[in-house]
Chain A
Amino acid sequence: MAVSETMNAPEASNGSPLSAHEGAPESARERAAQYVVSRHRFRPAEALPWLLAIAAYFIFPDRMTFGSQVAIMIMFALSLDLILGYAGIVTLGHAAFFGIGAYTVALMVVRFGWTEPISGLFAAAILTGIFGFVLGWFTLRYRGLTLIMLTLATAIMLQEAGNLRSDITGGYDGLPGLTFKPLFGIFNYDLYGHAYYLYAMAALAIVFVLVRRIVYSPFGQALTGIRENVRRMHAIGSPVHRRLVTVYTISAAIAGVAGALFTQTNAYVTLTVFDFDNSAKVMVMLILGGTGRLYGAFVGAVVYLILEDDLSKFSPTFWQFGIGLLLVLTVLFAPRGLLGLIENAAAYLSKRFKS
């Protein structure tokens, strides 16, 4: 590993290297491993979003349908963070995966009468993952505008294909009236959307833990390396393309699960899930919240959706202007996103308290 070569052993004041008695790790390699392991550990502040989510269940019991949609968008944004924030891949076609996941579940119901929800999520993940693998294999050789246009064009062509076979997909009127078996045989869909909120949140939690593990693993480090300096990664022999395709596949699978949840919570899906708008929206949410830090997806999605909901009740034109302004201000004054602002504030406060 390149790391061990450049790190020097710390020296004690008398010039000799620290001995093992002092508890310091023997080699730089062990230090590196310990660093990676320590990042894995959950910090107390990380419980906050989950506590808030549970609190929302009790404080806003009548906004749970909205809450499920927020959970779904967070998951979608998380999937994008994996490739955008960590691996540095800019793509405008992520809605393709969302759509494939959504339609997998719908077609399972319509064509095979398969209405069990949880297995639907797995099926969506697998199918979307396969598609992501294939697409990634071909397109991840390119970057920049080329990659953006390739992914965008693919998503649009997928949508057009869906319209061509609207006998299967229902076209823009979609596939309505999808009913699902109760979760675990007990929890059924209800008007207030309670059970489905918890379901979406639980799925989000599981996905999140998975993503977190990936990101803090050596694999995740390699991704960051690719993002920061791909030439150097090539130079040290890191299998860049393979790593990118892997993370793209995982990201696609997660986006597919988000899409599947979308179909299940809405009991309805149309071709609009493939819209370019969807890809653009999730990217805006993620960047607003802050990329490369996982929780940016949470902050971005929640802020965006709540603002959209509230401001558009007030005046839809205002909302559009407002979100545009927010984006401009974020770029100019909060380049690491809203989460960056929060982190700065937290760092500032902790400094104040220390001194």
Chain B
Amino acid sequence: MPQYANIAVSILFDGLAYAMFLFITSVGLSVTMGLMNFVNLAHGAFAMAGGYLVVTLTRSLGVPFIPSLIVAAVVVGAVSVVFERLLYRRLYRATDLEQVLLTIGLAFMAIATYTYFYGPIPKSVPLPRWLEGDVNLGFRTFPSYRAFLIVVGFLLIAVLWYGFERTNIGAKIRAAVDNRRMAQSVGINVDRLFTLIFALGSGLAALGGGLAIQLLGLNPSFAVIYLVLFLLVVAVGGLGSLKGTLLAALVLGIFDTAGKYLFADAGGFFIYAITVLVLLVKPAGFYGRE
């Protein structure tokens, strides 16, 4: 392949894989913030919890990687419901600041707890053979794990799209995001809906966390270090929008990868510069409202 085409393909591929990770981990935060106007900065902690659960399942209990991911997502999703019912529910009408404070406090507690139980040393996860190495697609080879990420991402997008656009529940959710009062007045139980969404979002975050171990490593500070990244995706995409989160993840992921490849010196700038540019032009993000 000619050199520049090769580079373009590399950037697209790597960027896409990174974007999938961003999407999977951030979509829950976007929908949560959009639907219930609740700023959940503990979202990163849920992702981290998922990661650590995958580590325990694969290393201590010998569960294979892919089932561990699913189990971790389900477990964290279920546990998040407890948090939602006991704690978050009280603060739906509170100010943004109070929500920020509460969830940051929870994040700190999570970090300390995980440091205590797992230690501060970064963990890795044993991958099945077919995820290590690379896969040959004819015109060139690609790292298998990243290809896997892209496939998982597409699958999830398909499932989520179908769920949101084609099912009853999806319609209810969209109605509630669009106009909560109206939705309530036609008899939709928004509270229950929100619990469901919250669990789904946290579960997805946990999945993202599990997938991230191979990509970025896992240590107890994961919860806050990558939080900024998720917030960027959510802000650029627009609160409460699946399409927006996806587009933002793609734009930020690919531009970040391109920037690091082409301008390694200033590569880190791209993701922030793009955020600023988008927000100045479209303050509510790509598909946000108002």
Contacts and interface: CB of A to CB of B under 8 A. Distances in A.
A276 B228 CA distance: 9
B109 A325 contact: yes
Interface stretch (B9-17, B90-98, B143-151, B200-208): B90-98
Nearest to A324: B108
A146 interface: yes
A291 B266 contact: no
Given A153-B276, A331-B91, A335-B98, A317 B235 contact: no
A51 interface: no
Interface string B79-97: 0000000010011001011
B190 to A, nearest CB: 21
A148 B231 CA distance: 10
A171 B119 CA distance: 30
Interface stretch (B110-118, B155-163, B166-174): B110-118
A327 B272 contact: no
A160 B105 contact: no
A145 B26 CA distance: 15
Interface residues of A, number: 39
B78 interface: no
Given A145-B234, A149-B235, A153-B232, A320 B104 contact: no
Interface string B271-290: 01101100110011100000
A90 to B, nearest CB: 6
Nearest to B283: A146
Given A149-B235, A153-B276, A327-B102, A317 B266 contact: no
A150 interface: yes
Given A90-B96, A138-B280, A321-B113, A149 B275 contact: yes
Given A287-B97, A327-B102, A320 B108 contact: yes
**Dominant secondary structure of chain A at its interface with chain B:** helix
**Dominant secondary structure of chain B at its interface with chain A:** helix
Contact of B228 (A144, A152, A332): A152
Contact of A321 (B96, B112, B276): B112
Contacts of B239: 145
Contacts of A324: 104-112
Contact of B115 (A152, A154, A320, A327): A320
Contact of B33 (A142, A145, A276, A288): A145
Nearest to A138: B280
A284 B268 contact: no
A279 to B, nearest CB: 11
A64 to B, nearest CB: 29
Nearest to B290: A144
A52 interface: no
Contacts of B113: 321
B182 interface: no
Contact of B105 (A164, A317, A331): A331
A118 interface: no
A284 B265 CA distance: 33
A156 interface: yes
Tell me which of A146, A280, A325, A330 has the highest count of chain B C-beta atoms within 10 A of its own C-beta.
Answer: A146
Contact of B102 (A157, A276, A318, A328): A328
A235 to B, nearest CB: 19
Tell me which of B108, B115, B234, B275 has the highest count of chain A C-beta atoms within 10 A of its own C-beta.
Answer: B108
A330 B107 contact: no
A284 B275 contact: no
A219 to B, nearest CB: 23
Contacts of B232: 149, 153
Closest A-B pairs by Cβ, 7 of them: A327-B105, A324-B108, A321-B112, A324-B109, A320-B112, A328-B105, A149-B235
Given A320-B112, A320-B115, 14 more contacts: A138-B280, A142-B279, A144-B96, A152-B228, A160-B272, A317-B115, A320-B108, A320-B109, A321-B109, A321-B116, A325-B105, A328-B102, A330-B105, A332-B87
17 contacts: A90-B96, A156-B228, A157-B273, A291-B97, A317-B116, A318-B112, A319-B112, A320-B108, A320-B109, A324-B104, A324-B107, A325-B105, A327-B102, A331-B94, A331-B101, A331-B105, A332-B87
Interface of B: 33, 39, 87, 90-91, 94, 96-98, 100-102, 104-113, 115-116, 228, 231-232, 234-236, 239, 265-266, 268-269, 272-273, 275-276, 279-280, 283-285
